[in-house]
Amino acid sequence: MRKSLLRMTFRQIQIFRSVCSNLSYSRAAEEMSLSQPAVSLQIRQLEELLGQPLFDYVGKKLYLTEAAEALQRASADIFGRLESLDMQLADLQGSLQGQLSLAVESSAKYFVPHLFAAFRQHYPEVNLHLVVTNHAQALKRLNANRDDLLIMSRVPTDMNLEFLPFLNNPIIAVAPPDHPLCSQGPLSLQDLTAFPLLIREAGSGTRQACEEYCHQKRAHFAHTLEVGSMEGQCEGVIAGLGLALLPRHAVRRELDCGALRELPVSELPLLRSWCLLHPRGKYLSPVAQAFFAFVRDQRSLINALAKRFSEPGGDTTPRHIASPPH
Q: How confident is the model over 248-305, as pLDDT tens digits?
A: 888 888 988 999 999 999 999 898 888 999 998 888 888 899 999 999 988 878 877 7
Domain assignment of residue 259, yes or no: yes
Mean of the per-residue pLDDT values of the chain: 85
**pLDDT of residue 222 exceeding 50:** yes
Domain assignment of residue 86, yes or no: no
pLDDT computed for residue 265 by the predictor: 92
Q: How confident is the model over 75-103, as pLDDT tens digits?
A: 888 887 887 777 677 665 556 788 899 99
pLDDT computed for residue 291 by the predictor: 94
**Domain of 67, in residue numbers:** 5-74
**pLDDT of residue 245 exceeding 90:** yes
Pair 179, 216 in one domain = yes
Least confident of 25-29, 133-137, 207-211, 306-310: 306-310
Domain assignment of residue 319, yes or no: no
Pair 248, 289 in one domain = no
**pLDDT of residue 121 exceeding 50:** yes
Domain assignment of residue 322, yes or no: no
How far, CA to CA in Å, does 85 sit from each of 6, 44, 81, 90, 110? 20, 30, 6, 9, 32
Strands 98-105 and 126-133 turn out to be: parallel
Pair 117, 237 in one domain = no
pLDDT computed for residue 326 by the predictor: 35
Any residues with CB less than 8 A from the CB of 138 and at least 6 apart, and which?
A: 103, 104, 105, 150, 152, 205
Domain assignment of residue 286, yes or no: yes
Q: What pTM, to 2 d.p., does this model score?
A: 0.63
Task: Give the confidence band of 1 by pLDDT, cuts at 50, 70, 90.
Answer: low
